[in-house]
Amino acid sequence: MMKYLAAICFILLTFTVHAQTKPTIKQDLLSPVNTDASSYFWTGTALTSFLVITQDYISYPLTERAYETRPLGDAAKVGDLYGQLYPNIIYTLGALAHGYYSQEDKSSYEKADHMFRATLYSGFVVTVLKYTIREPRPNSSHEKNSFPSGHSTTAFAFATVVATEHSWKWGVPAMALAALTGFSRMNDERHFLHDVIAGMTLGVSYGLGTYYTKNGQDNKMIFVPILDQERAGLRLVTTF
């Protein structure tokens, strides 16, 4: 119940950000492929695809080894908390409060908005994938929402926003904690390796993508469907 209340507060309070020209929903939703974030998105997608194809030889054995040895111990609890919405909410509310009480620093509102959009769109996509693909979890065949890892997505979205909005002194620890979250999901037998890599890809791609759309970048490339009597496929269209 607390998670849902926190999520509601997160959404309502974020919409108190001062009105400004913002990217459209379409621009943000497609930002992983329409901006310079595309290189991270396609690299992560390729790696995820490779791990899915070779899951019997790589992903499954590595995941099994992780939860059999459980090397993280109690540190896995830190990863679990970091992968929930709490850090994202705290950051957003903190940035909103700073913007409100420091009237001369409007950039805090932009940071809050960036965190909200990165979290919202990555969370939306991961939820759609979870309940479309319906992959069983490693420790429960009845829970068919393993792919991708939502904790990893949330953690890497948070870490990427921190890395882009602040110095490397904050970005490096944030990324390290996100990596801890990803491994903790294997350590706790909740996700396979390919679930974690997919979640990482979505989190980083939307963290970067919404950063680029915020700064006016869009339509770097799009996919156009091709369908006629002789062929079907996708055409890649780029802009320079």
Distance, CA of 202 to chain centre = 4
Number of independent structural domains in the chain: 1
pLDDT digits over 188-233, tens only?
A: 999 999 999 999 999 999 999 999 998 876 665 554 445 444 554 5
Least confident of 50-64, 69-83, 92-106: 92-106
Residue 120, in any domain of the structure: yes
Is 8 inside any structural domain?
no
Does residue 240 register a pLDDT over 70? no
Is 193 a member of any domain? Answer: yes
Report the mean per-residue pLDDT for the chain. 86
Give a yes or no: residue 33 inside a domain: yes
Q: Indicate whether 15 belongs to any domain.
A: no
The CATH number of residue 180's host domain is 1.20.144
**Position 79 in a domain:** yes
Residue 170's pLDDT band, with cuts at 50, 70 and 90, is: very high
Tell whether 208 is covered by a domain.
yes
What's the domain range around 60?
A: 24-223+231-238
pTM: 0.85
pLDDT given at position 9: 52
